[in-house]
């Protein structure tokens, strides 16, 4: 019904830059362990997700993660694009291609880009098992940069694998944001979003975001109740145009995140920047007032 509907940017209350389209089959062990870590309930279906965001006049960036490590069933990029197309008034699709796939990964990215629907990329170094500054990945970044699209990197601790034997095979070192600093130097036109408050490397993330004008931080995956004081301090000052609201739906819902954000000591004039304006600018969302 909403197919082909244009996003009314002025009407949006917020833009959630970090949500997951989950598979709709049976839960795996990794799903159970991850939900336990986040204290989350059962994953709602796709229609429920669309209804949730539409009823709140909230836009969301949606994606899957192309990885084989966790053993979770894959959600295809094609199904993410189709889901977003049906809900184009509220959804912005990012694609995820494991960048360690080499030339095959690049052709897959190009095939998806050719649809004209892709709004960005999502990478997950801990489950895709690569250091972001690995030179072997650079041709992949060039493809993203040429497309003029932003890329989200997972950073910091991983909920996936937490509490499982051997952490489910997830090596946390790949989540250190400092490796992204090299990418920001070598691809100065690539817009990079470091996902999550980067625990246990919060200071590194703040420093990179402060130093590199093409790097942003999304605040997903953590309740604002637990944000480090320096993250809030920089968010209120030097990084006020760099922090982005993200939930990590369905593991953390926007309702819960926003209730805790309300209580966190952010300045009133900074809140609309974090909730909507910074993301609107970064994602090139056109307000009617601006486009005439």
Establish if 98 lies at the interface with Zn ion (CB under 5 A): no
DSSP 116-133: S---EEEE-HHHHT--TT
- Residue 9 or 251: which CB sits closer to Zn ion? 251
- The answer to whether the beta carbons of residues 189 and 240 sit under 8 Å apart is no
**Shortest CB 248 distance to Zn ion, Å:** 5
CB of 72 to Zn ion, least distance (A): 13
Closest CB to Zn ion among residues 89, 175 = 175
Residue closer to Zn ion by CB (options 66, 248) is 248
CB 174, CB 67: distance < 8 Å: no
* CB nearer to Zn ion: pick between 22 and 89: 22
Distance (Å, rounded) from C-alpha 291 to C-alpha 16? Answer: 22
Q: Give least dist CB 126 to Zn ion, A.
A: 11
Q: Which ranges in 135-175 belong to alpha helices (H)? A: 138-147
For residue 101 the two structure tokens come to 């796939």
* Residue 248 interacting with Zn ion (CB under 5 A): yes
- By rule CB under 5 A, what count of residues binds Zn ion? 1
DSSP state of 244: E
Rounded to whole angstroms, how far apart are CA atoms 96 and 61? 12
Looking at the Cβ atoms of 123 and 137, the one nearer to Zn ion is 123
Interface with Zn ion by CB under 5 A: which range of 143-151, 178-186, 248-256, 277-285?
248-256
Is the link from the previous residue into 250 a cis peptide, with omega within 30 of 0?
yes
- In whole angstroms, how close is the CB of 108 to Zn ion at the nearest point? 21
Residue ranges that bind Zn ion, judged by CB under 5 A: 248
């Amino acid at each position: 019904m909403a197919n082909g509907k244009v996003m009314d940017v002025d009407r949006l209350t917020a833009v959630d830059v970090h949500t997951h389209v989950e598979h709709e089959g049976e839960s795996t062990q990794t799903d159970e362990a991850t939900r336990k870590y986040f204290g989350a309930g059962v994953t709602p279906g796709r229609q429920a997700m669309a209804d949730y965001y539409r009823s709140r006049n909230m836009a969301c960036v949606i994606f899957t993660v192309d990885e084989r490590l966790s053993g979770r069933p894959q959600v295809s990029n094609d199904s993410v694009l189709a889901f977003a197309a049906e809900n184009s008034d509220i959804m912005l699709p990012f694609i995820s291609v494991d960048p360690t796939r080499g030339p095959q990964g690049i052709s897959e990215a190009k095939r998806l880009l050719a649809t004209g629907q892709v709004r960005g990329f999502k990478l997950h170094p801990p489950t895709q098992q690569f250091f972001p500054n690995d030179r072997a990945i650079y041709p992949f970044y060039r493809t993203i940069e040429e497309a003029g699209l932003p890329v989200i990197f997972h950073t910091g601790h991983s909920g996936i694998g937490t509490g499982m034997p051997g952490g489910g095979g997830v090596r946390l070192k790949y989540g250190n944001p400092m490796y992204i600093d090299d990418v920001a130097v070598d691809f100065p036109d690539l817009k990079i979003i470091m996902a999550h408050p980067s625990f246990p490397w919060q200071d590194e993330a703040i420093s990179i975001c402060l130093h590199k004008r093409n790097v942003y931080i999304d605040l997903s995956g953590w309740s604002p109740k637990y944000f480090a004081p320096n993250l809030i301090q920089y968010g209120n000052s030097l990084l006020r145009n760099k922090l982005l609201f993200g939930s990590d739906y369905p593991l953390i819902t926007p309702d819960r995140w926003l209730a805790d954000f309300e209580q966190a000591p952010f300045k009133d004039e900074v809140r609309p920047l974090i909730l909507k304006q910074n993301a609107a600018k970064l994602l090139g969302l056109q307000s009617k007032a601006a486009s005439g």
